[in-house]
Amino acid sequence: MSLALSGAEGRRALLIGTAVVFVLSFFAFAFLYLRMAMLYDSDSYYHLAVARLYGTEGIFAPNPWARFSLLQSGADKDFLFHLLLLPFATFGDAATGGRLALALFDAAIAAVIGWYAARALGLVGFFVPLWLWIAAPPFFARAARLRPELLALLVILLAIGAAAHRRRIALALLAFAFALGYTAFHVFLFLVVLWCWRDWRSIAAAAGGVAAGLLIRPHPLANLELWWVQNVEFFRYAGVLDVGNEIRPPGARTLIASIPFALALVVLLWSAAAKPPLSKRQLTLPHSIAAIVFILLFARFGRMATYAFPLAALAVLLRANRRLAPFVLAASAVAAIPFARDPHLLALLRTDVITEADLDAFGRAMPPGAKVAAEWGSGELYAFWAPQGRYLNVLEPLFMARPFPRQYAAQRLLFSGMAPDPIAVMRELDSDYIAFDRTDVPPLFLARMQSDPRFQPVYAGYNVLLRATLTTNDRRPPPRPPAR
């Protein structure tokens, strides 16, 4: 099971093995994702919608789905990611293209992980990506989403090798790609400083690449404002926003599902030599630094599972005992199988869940240019399936809450079902229609919409589109306050 890494034959075997991992992974992921009734989350569809917009309207096209949002400026924090998705979103069916794009990203990540692991363990290292998908369910749950984090992870994995071998041009290009394709450029620069703290030329090359990535893009100043709001001001607002669980610390389910993976790494570390072999030492330190940084971030933000699990695995495997590692990996994979049953992913593989057919019908019912009140998560779906609509906000509640606090409060009040007069709130939101997923709203809100005759159904499937109509009383001006 050993693989000699020296000489032309060893390098050829490494390249062939990496190519095989990529091809097999692509077909396996494509088979899985093409069977899914829907892509994993609403962000996946939104990114495809932006890519399709660029393909039809050009890269300077303003965001038409964020009337009360910082995104109305046209800034795009994930610009390169959307450019890479452009052919998948514009040629043929965009939903199918998105599934193939997701399979390609995951296959590329698997190939790079396999390449590093094979250098550490020999031929058995090419099975490490498969082990990671099984033994680290929180990682797979993140990797199954078409999000720019996949591009960021791929760039970080490649940058580790570039930094370890002081390939400054490659590091500068990767820094450029990271800043152009993902918002958290400061994290990448921080990693480079830790990797190359004695090599100011490498740090300068990375800084130059980041600067170019920030400047060579549409709306660079507006994009910097997005970065500031999302990465600095976020901590002021996080406690009062309707954010998802992914920006909170990992829950008990995630931690329990990680036990086989964590135990495998502990055993491999315990059995490792005091110092890795000289051939691996260059890569061990940058992998370890990246793993520590993202494990700390994962303890605060559950979404950092995307990075923490693969980087921790590689950091340990580079030090692992070659003879023991295959048995530990196999045992942990078997132990992890009961935890690998992601309920959400399994639901998407069934036919009795909400499907894209409902959203397609919803989109056909949407009038062109309709001003629609919708929550930010639903707005991401509707941007793809009903791009002719004009929604409130997408991607991040803070993008609405900060510049439009009054309208953000009105939106939350409306969708809570507690608004005394929903029509008055609709006026505040400059909206003639309201849209929502009836399976994902409070019962009180659903009851209010069903009982208010001023809301007339335009489409009523799993997703609902209602038109707000004004009664005679609604058209009357508000009463004057009594004279003193």
Residue 363: pLDDT band with limits 50, 70, 90: very high
Q: Where is 434: in which H helix or E strand?
A: strand 433-437
Residue type (1 letter), 101: A
Residue 277: pLDDT band with limits 50, 70, 90: low
Q: What is the mean pLDDT of residues 365-372?
A: 96
**Residue closest to 78 by CA, chosen among 107, 46, 104:** 46
Q: Residue 352's pLDDT is what?
A: 61
Inform me whether the pLDDT recorded for 130 exceeds 90: yes
| Model confidence pLDDT, tens digit, residues 307-348 | 999 999 999 998 888 889 999 999 999 999 888 777 777 777
**HEC string of 29-64?**
HHHHHHHCCCCCCHHHHHHHHHHHHHHHHCCCCCCC
- Compare 472 and 307 and report the one with higher pLDDT: 307
Weakest-pLDDT range from 14-23, 224-233, 281-290, 398-407 = 281-290
Q: What is the mean pLDDT of residues 433-460?
A: 93
Query: Cα separation of 340 and 138, whole Å?
Result: 9
Per cent of the chain over pLDDT 90 is 70
Q: Residue 280's pLDDT is what?
A: 61
Q: What is the mean pLDDT of residues 382-403?
A: 94
Exposure string over 81-110, b if 16+ CB within 10 A, otherwise e: bbbbbbebbbeeebbebbbbbbbbbbbbbb
Q: What is the mean pLDDT of residues 134-154?
A: 94
Q: What is the mean pLDDT of residues 27-35?
A: 94
Q: Residue 273's pLDDT is what?
A: 62
Query: Cα separation of 434 and 456, whole Å?
Result: 10
Question: Which residue is listed with tokens 């335009």?
Answer: 458
List strands edge to edge, sheet with 455-460: 372-373, 433-437, 463-468, 455-460
Query: Cα separation of 376 and 382, whole Å?
Result: 10
Average pLDDT, rounded, for the chain: 89
| Model confidence pLDDT, tens digit, residues 150-161 | 999 999 999 999
Query: Cα separation of 258 and 252, whole Å?
Result: 10
Q: Residue 148's pLDDT is what?
A: 96
Residue 353: pLDDT band with limits 50, 70, 90: low
Contact 481, 454 (CB under 8 A): no
Exposure string over 181-198, b if 16+ CB within 10 A, otherwise e: bbbbbebbbebbeebbee
| Model confidence pLDDT, tens digit, residues 11-23 | 888 999 999 999 9
Phi, psi of 379 (to 5 degrees): -60, -30
Inform me whether the pLDDT recorded for 6 exceeds 60: no
- Compare 251 and 101 and report the one with higher pLDDT: 101
Q: Residue 329's pLDDT is what?
A: 94
| Model confidence pLDDT, tens digit, residues 148-188 | 999 999 999 999 999 998 999 999 999 999 999 999 999 99
Q: Where is 460: in which H helix or E strand?
A: strand 455-460
Structure tokens belonging to residue 187? 């994290």
- Compare 440 and 189 and report the one with higher pLDDT: 189
Residue 3: pLDDT band with limits 50, 70, 90: very low
Residue 296: pLDDT band with limits 50, 70, 90: very high
Contact 275, 281 (CB under 8 A): yes
- Show contacts of 231-235: CB within 8 Å, 24+ apart: 231/183, 231/184, 231/186, 233/398, 233/402, 234/398
Inform me whether the pLDDT recorded for 217 exceeds 80: yes
Q: What is the mean pLDDT of residues 128-136?
A: 94
Question: Bridge partners of 373?
Answer: 434
Q: What is the mean pLDDT of residues 375-403?
A: 94
Inform me whether the pLDDT recorded for 104 exceeds 90: yes
Contact 287, 318 (CB under 8 A): yes
Weakest-pLDDT range from 172-176, 192-196, 237-241, 463-467 = 237-241
| Model confidence pLDDT, tens digit, residues 66-78 | 999 999 888 899 9
Q: Residue 274's pLDDT is what?
A: 59
Predicted model pTM: 0.91
Q: Residue 482's pLDDT is what?
A: 42
Residue 275: pLDDT band with limits 50, 70, 90: low
Strands (E), 239-391: 372-373
Q: What is the mean pLDDT of residues 408-437?
A: 94
Residue 49: pLDDT band with limits 50, 70, 90: very high
